Amino acid sequence: MSTIQAGYRSMSVLVSINWDRLLYVFTIVFALFLGAYLGTVML
């Protein structure tokens, strides 16, 4: 159980350090999917 808690704690530390980079990646992926969707609708 302590191994699971330590892994969760380290993952939360990584996310708290790199949340802005993750946000940028998710924003770019969302924009690409939205552009592809609009491209198929407008076609």
Instruction: Dump pLDDT digits (tens) for 1-43.
Output: 666 767 777 778 877 888 888 889 999 999 999 999 999 998 7
17: tokens are 């350090």
pLDDT at 1: 65
pLDDT at 3: 67
Domain ranges across the chain:
19-43
Query: How is residue 42 annotated by DSSP?
Result: H
> C-alpha dihedral over 22, 27, 29, 32, to 10 degrees?
-160
pLDDT at 33: 97
pTM, 2 dp: 0.59
14: tokens are 């990584």
